[in-house]
Amino acid sequence: GSVHRLAKRAAEQQQLAASEQASIDLLRRSAPFCAQNKKVAFEGCPFYLHERLAATQLRTTFPSMRAIALLRNPRERTVSAFNDYLRMGRIRRAAGGATARDAQMLTLVASKIEMLRSGVRQLEDFDMRILTSAVYIHGLEAWGRAWPASQLLVLQSEEMFDAAEAVVHRVEDFLGLRRAIPASAYMRTHNKNTLAGKARASAALNGSLDAFFAPHNAALYRWLASRGTPFRPWPNGTHA
């Protein structure tokens, strides 16, 4: 019932808070080493952006830190997350080959969209992350309040794909690095999902995802425009 859901949500939030604190502690411990050896500490996570509390916690702990948000087309982000969950075993693969996996992804996404629309689940709920991690505006608004524009850089994955060198130079300038990252590093594929037989988006899935993300994307574009951040709207309604 509702009491069970509230208890489960509270436990999930407690787990998330502990995980975030562990990451902050790790960064704090690395600071003296980096200063002594003239190194720059980096820490990346696909979920920080969605966690509103992380923005203020990190700002309080590391006030001079610079944050970079790299945003991928929400539709592609969701499909990628589904395949990553399959690879890690968080989602049990449906029997029956690629067609069955495609249908499994469509059913799962539809059920989560319906739970959010009905109010059974909220954007912050842990079991919604496969979908809601791509609702970028939800977290970016909090990050924008906690961090000045001079310390928060928002980039598009599509920019990185199309013009990697130019984007890396922007990152280096933002971080105060003197062209320190060689092309051999950023032109190489890192952390590739090697899952065989990945699920692929159908026209029906793309339509559902585009409809779900449309108002969130529109709010994101308005927020970015208010900050003077150039951003290409993602195409909608096409078959990927």
Average pLDDT over residues 40-45: 69
SS3 193: coil
47 burial type by CB count under 10 A (0-12 exposed, 13-18 middle, 19+ buried): middle
The CA distance from 148 to 146, in Å, is 7
The CA distance from 80 to 46, in Å, is 12
φ, ψ dihedrals at 187, nearest 5°: -95, 5
> Which pLDDT band, with edges at 50, 70 and 90, does 56 fall under?
confident
Question: Residue 26: its pLDDT value, please?
Answer: 61
Question: Residue 15: its pLDDT value, please?
Answer: 65
Strands 67-71 and 152-156: parallel
Question: Residue 237: its pLDDT value, please?
Answer: 41
> pLDDT, tens digit, for every residue of 103-132?
999 999 999 999 999 999 988 888 898 888
Question: Residue 154: its pLDDT value, please?
Answer: 95
Higher pLDDT, 5 or 177: 177
The pTM assigned to this predicted structure is 0.78
Average pLDDT over residues 2-31: 63
Residue 33 has pLDDT above 60, yes or no: no
Lowest mean pLDDT among 55-59, 163-167, 192-196: 192-196
Higher pLDDT, 60 or 51: 60
> Which pLDDT band, with edges at 50, 70 and 90, does 220 fall under?
very high
Higher pLDDT, 209 or 182: 209
Where would I find the H helices in the chain? 2-37, 52-61, 74-88, 98-118, 129-132, 136-146, 157-162, 164-175, 183-186, 203-226
Which candidate, 2, 4, 51, 64, places its Cα nearest to that of 23?
Answer: 51
SS3 155: strand
The CA distance from 95 to 112, in Å, is 21
SS3 70: strand
Token pair listed for 76: 């592609």
> pLDDT, tens digit, for every residue of 146-173?
989 899 999 999 998 888 889 989 998 9
The CA distance from 52 to 138, in Å, is 8
Chain-wide mean pLDDT for the chain? 82
Which candidate, 23, 218, 56, 67, places its Cα nearest to that of 137?
Answer: 218
Question: Residue 12: its pLDDT value, please?
Answer: 61
Question: Residue 233: its pLDDT value, please?
Answer: 93
Residue 191 has pLDDT above 70, yes or no: no
> Which pLDDT band, with edges at 50, 70 and 90, does 90 fall under?
confident
> Which pLDDT band, with edges at 50, 70 and 90, does 207 fall under?
very high
Average pLDDT over residues 23-51: 66
Residue 142 has pLDDT above 80, yes or no: yes
